[in-house]
Amino acid sequence: MSPATQTATTALLRPATPADAPAIHTLIVEHLDEGHLLPRTLEEVTTHAHRFIVAANGGRLVACGELAPLSRVVGEVRSLVVTRDARRLGLGADIIGELVQQATSAGFDTLCAFTHAPAYFVQLGFSIVPHVWLPEKIVTDCHACAHFRRCGQYPLVRALRRAPQPFVPLASLHG
C-alpha cells in the first residue's frame, strides 16, 4: 500500500500509527453494541496499531481493520469497523482490499474472518467454512473466549494468490 490512498468517497486510506490507537479503540468500543465485534483493550490496539488500515475523512477516523497473523500461512481480518455515517461508501471493501494485498505480500496462503454477517464477506470473495478448518484461530483465540462453542460467528476464508513461481522442469532436477 502506498503511504495513503484516496478513495472515491474522499476518505483517505492509510496505515495506522500508534497515535491512531485511541481513535481506533473508540471506533471499536462505540460499535460493540451492534454485536459484531469482540472487545479490544486500548493497550492491545496500541501494541498492534501497525497492523491496522484506517480511513480518515477530514482528520476523523471513520473506518479501520486489522490484519492479524494466526500462523505463518493464515492471516485474519479483525476489528473491521465503519462508522454508521460512513457506511455504504465502500470503505469496508476498500480496507479489506488493502488487507488482502498486505496478506498476499506477507506470504499468507489464506485470509480468514469471523463474523455474524457472512454475506458481506462472501461478496468480497470469502467462503464460509467449518470452524475446524481454522485450528489456528481456535488455538489462538477461541479456547480463551467466554463464548467458545456458542459464539454464533461464521468462519470465512479467502485463498490468496501468490506471484507465480518460476517453472523448473522436473527433468532438470535429475541431471
pLDDT digits (tens, 9 = 90+) for 2-16: 555 554 457 889 999
**pLDDT for residue 78:** 94
Residue 5 contacts residue 14 (beta carbons within 8 Å): yes
pTM of the predicted model over 0.75: yes
- Percentage of the residues of the chain whose pLDDT score is greater than 90: 55
**pLDDT for residue 43:** 95
Q: What is the mean pLDDT of residues 120-132?
A: 91
Domain ranges within the chain, ordered by starting residue: 5-161
Residue 172 has pLDDT above 80, yes or no: no
**pLDDT for residue 103:** 96
**pLDDT for residue 130:** 85
pLDDT band at 173 (very low <50, low <70, confident <90, very high): low
CATH class of 5-161: alpha beta
How far does Cα 39 stand from its chain's mean position? 15
Residue 16 contacts residue 53 (beta carbons within 8 Å): yes
Q: Residues 23-38: pLDDT tens digits? A: 999 999 998 888 778 8
Residue 96 contacts residue 65 (beta carbons within 8 Å): yes
Which residues, in sequence order, are bridge partners of residue 69? 75
**pLDDT for residue 167:** 65
